[in-house]
Chain A
Amino acid sequence: MIGGDAETYSAIWATLRVSGYSMGCSLIIGVPLGFCLGYFDFRGKRPLRTVVDTLMALPTVFIGLLVYAFLTRSGPLGNFGLLFTLPGIAIGQTILALPVVIGLTAAAVESMDQKLRIALMSLGANRRQLFLSSLWETRHGILAGAIAAYGRVMTEVGISMMVGGNIKWHTRTITTAIALETNKGQFGMGIALGLVLLAIAFCVNVSVSLLRKRY
């Protein structure tokens, strides 16, 4: 790191890019879905919650296998040429993060105080404002869900390895690099990369904590 090893920085950059893509997609899709799941009462809500909660424990290698099967040249999405690319890994990581974001957003919304609705309506909120303000009021819970999802995305190996192929300069992420270095017997390098991962997680958590304090 200190010596400015280009290969290491490439892996860090790949990790940040791919986790950025997957977190962006999972939050855009997952927060509205999670909010609806927690906010509205509808038939089949309970079983759906159970399905989402179960999907939170999806094994990364299983997701990797499924995405590989879809993206491989003979697979249904083979024409897009996404196998062994960062967007390909991002698809897999989005599938990994989505149940976490949906499930924890729904839980945050369900635990929202019913008095909030009365307070907002008493102050003149219309349906759209009620929805947006309720979403804003559950921001801390949603943020907690996003951090949990980010933790899973950042630390997974299965998807990155199977869908990305661990190609140097292209799809090698920090976690796949650690796996490779460990296989090579370079434990010191593996530990150093692990510490980098930890440092990134620390920076993210500090930023989120500052955001929470401010808003």
Chain B
Amino acid sequence: MKHAYGGRMVLSIEHLTFAKASIIGLRGPNGSGKSTLLRLLGLIEKPVEGAILFNGQAVEPFSPEARFRISLLPQEPFLMKRRVFGNVAYGIKLRGDVADVTERVHEALSLVGLSHGDFVRRPWYALSGGEAQRVALAARLALRPNVLLLDEPTASVDIPSAELIREAAFKAREKMGTTLVIASHDWQWLYEVCDQVFHLFKGKILGTGRETILFGPWRRVDSGMWGRRLGDQQFIVASRPPSDEAAAIIHVGSIGEDNARVDEDDAVLKGTITRINLERNSGKLFATIVVGDQNFIVGLTQRQTQERTLFPGKEVFIHYCLKTIRWV
């Protein structure tokens, strides 16, 4: 699937499959193509090349097979100039399910933690940002969609609202078997809740999200290597980049107790563990290690998990293989 705006290619994905009722995370910096991908998956736009299959059937904007079944919640809440009831009931009425519209609105509002009695008659302008986002989510949940696409669902709301939005999305998955595709900057949260995380960069999928992207400028150092300084003045070495400004994709292999290199392709950096999370899908632990101003993610070995010798605040050495560095 490829997509372009004004002739500029913004997304190019060879193949991507989402399993039914799974939770998929999309991470990546601004402009990496997350929102574009969600708009294409949400059948708001049609890709310039390629196709989107839903239950094995090719679908595009306004396809009757996918209308009401795939729904996108954009980052900024947008409500129509109607009361809360009108907003939440809009999709149900379009669908023609008018018989139990009140119950459906009630159920959807309860899912997002809004009291039916207090909110149902409120006009769109009498809602806070967090409430508006929850009403917008309720409007989608009322459709009982098969796929719910959430674009930075908690970026513009306060912490309690964010928690309610997250809970509502997961309840929908539990109750209705909805597949969730979530784009978020909060990648640590994505690892905790998602079955699979994809890392997007410049419209392409780099991998499963464990990679760290390091931007140039790179400069040549002694011994024929290239490198750049990190925030804490440590020097990160890399293989020869295609250009000085290229971005390096680095996948950290392991955490060690000392800075001894294993072989000539091994490189070592000293960092501090800031967080240890549980990966939902594998049940394994992974650590976030900050080196200067960069975060690196490393999966813990079974031994490291059992020994419990690693904890936030501990200084460690991370090892990566120079040969596995990819350039974008």
Contacts and interface: CB of A to CB of B under 8 A. Distances in A.
A129 B94 contact: yes
Nearest to B64: A126
Contact of A115 (B71, B74, B143): B74
**What is the interface of chain B mostly: helix, strand, loop, or mixed?**
loop
Interface stretch (A24-32, A58-66, A116-124): A116-124
Contact of A116 (B67, B71, B80): B80
B81 A121 contact: no
B72 A124 contact: no
Q: Size range of the interface on B? A: 20 to 34
Contact of A122 (B72, B76, B81, B95): B72
A119 B140 CA distance: 10
B136 A118 contact: no
Given A127-B62, A129-B94, A122 B80 contact: no
Interface in B1-52: 39, 42-44
A110 interface: no
Contacts of A137: 80-81
A126 to B, nearest CB: 6
B78 interface: yes
Contacts of A120: 80
Interface in A120-152: 120-127, 129, 133, 137, 139-140
Contacts of B73: 122
Contacts of B78: 113, 115-116, 118-119
B61 interface: yes
B94 A122 contact: no
Contacts of B79: 119
Contacts of B90: 123, 133
6 contacts: A121-B42, A121-B61, A123-B139, A124-B94, A133-B80, A140-B81
Interface of B: 39, 42-44, 61-62, 67-68, 71-74, 76, 78-81, 90-91, 94-95, 136, 139-140, 143
Interface of A: 113, 115-127, 129, 133, 137, 139-140
